[in-house]
Amino acid sequence: MQYVHLGRSGIRVSRLCLGTMNFGPHTSEADSHRIMDHALESGINYFDSANVYGWKVGEGVTEQIVGRWLAQGGGRREKVVLATKVYGRMGEWPNQSHLSALHIRRACEESLRRLHTDYIDVYQMHHVDRDCPWEEIWQAMEQLCREGKVLYIGSSNFAGWHIARAQELARSRHFLGLISEQSLYNLLERAVELEVIPACQAYGIGLIPWSPLARGLLGGALSPSPAGRRASVGVRKDIETHHATLEAYERLCGNLEATPAAVALAWLLHQPAVTAPVIGPRTMEQLAGALQSLELTLTQETLKTLDEIFPGPGGAAPEAYAW
């Protein structure tokens, strides 16, 4: 396993990040524990969760599953760079969602309890809060860092200008600010190349792509019997829309003698701004398939062909659309 620094921070994380969103809703606790065991044995040390995962309001189902795994000991907590998120709705009352100082404080305490730990390595804002001033957000995050309950701060689903505003205010407060940004990024969804990626590179923020397989579209969607998300009506409609593109893609993967999932992940790993794609295996087989991407080297010719099959926005703004 290769390890790289997470953004400009001193911590080092594996090139794949284990996403836990499926733990609980789609994967049993026993199987989730086995997947986490195998991921750690394979060298993956970066685990990502969120307080809303499990999709039962206020329960933090997935965090509880991860927490019970960590509580088994054996060096699990010490080896893992643990990330979770705050923003989503955790109750029906006011102040039980978003990024007010009150909610950040309460949500952190609840995540710590569910995760059976006394600190979170990377505490991520799951979305930008347009109604909360950055002065309040940073004050709350700084307090958590002073208390040792949080070590680093990350963001998710931020626009480029949100990253810039957050970082400039953090700088004025002599605070480290963001070290990572989780964004939707894959061969089919490349809008972040316009402004998010340039902002991350300018501020030394590690890019953590989520949905690297585009809800399964890039994982062999044209196979005769698609399973999981690929069997849903919405995804089947997306398959029809992108059928010709996916045909060309899967034909290229066949020529490379590699699985479509491995090629999609390997493409992300070849992008200079990317630290670690978030993989979200439902099964041990899916985890094994994702690990294959670490052994796959794509030639410049292959990367050019992928750009032709999946043309991005044309690079960074404004050159992508102006001059």
Please write the tens of the pLDDT for every residue from 103-121: 999 999 999 999 999 999 9
Nearest to 108 by CA among 74, 142, 157: 142
Q: What is the mean pLDDT of residues 196-200?
A: 98
pLDDT, position 223: 83
* Dihedral angle over CA of 129, 198, 176, 268, nearest 10: 90
Q: Give the tokens for residue 111.
A: 């995540």
Q: How confident is the model at residue 307 (pLDDT cuts 50, 70, 90)?
A: very high
Place of tokens 């290229």: 252
Query: What domains appear along the chain, each with residue ranges and CATH number?
Result: 3-309 (3.20.20.100)
Q: Which residues are catalytic?
A: 53
Q: List pLDDT tens digits, range 8-42.
A: 999 999 999 999 999 999 999 999 999 999 999 99
Q: List pLDDT tens digits, range 43-82.
A: 999 999 999 999 999 999 999 999 999 999 999 999 999 9
Lowest mean pLDDT segment, chosen from 201-205, 228-232, 297-301, 311-315: 228-232
57 phi and psi angles, rounded to 5 deg: -55, 125
pLDDT, position 228: 57
Q: How confident is the model at residue 234 (pLDDT cuts 50, 70, 90)?
A: confident
Residue 233 has pLDDT above 90, yes or no: no
Q: How far apart are CA 75 and CA 69, in angstroms?
A: 11
In contact, 124 and 85? CB cutoff 8 Å: yes
Q: Give percent above pLDDT 70 in the chain.
A: 98
pLDDT, position 105: 98
Residue 314 has pLDDT above 90, yes or no: yes
pLDDT, position 232: 74
Strand partners, 17: 46, 278
Nearest to 268 by CA among 217, 193, 159, 179: 193
Residue 224 has pLDDT above 90, yes or no: no
In contact, 260 and 249? CB cutoff 8 Å: yes
Q: List pLDDT tens digits, range 145-187.
A: 999 999 999 999 999 999 999 999 999 999 999 999 999 999 9
**pTM for the model:** 0.95
Residue 189 has pLDDT above 80, yes or no: yes
Q: Which one-letter DSSP state was computed for residue 52? A: T
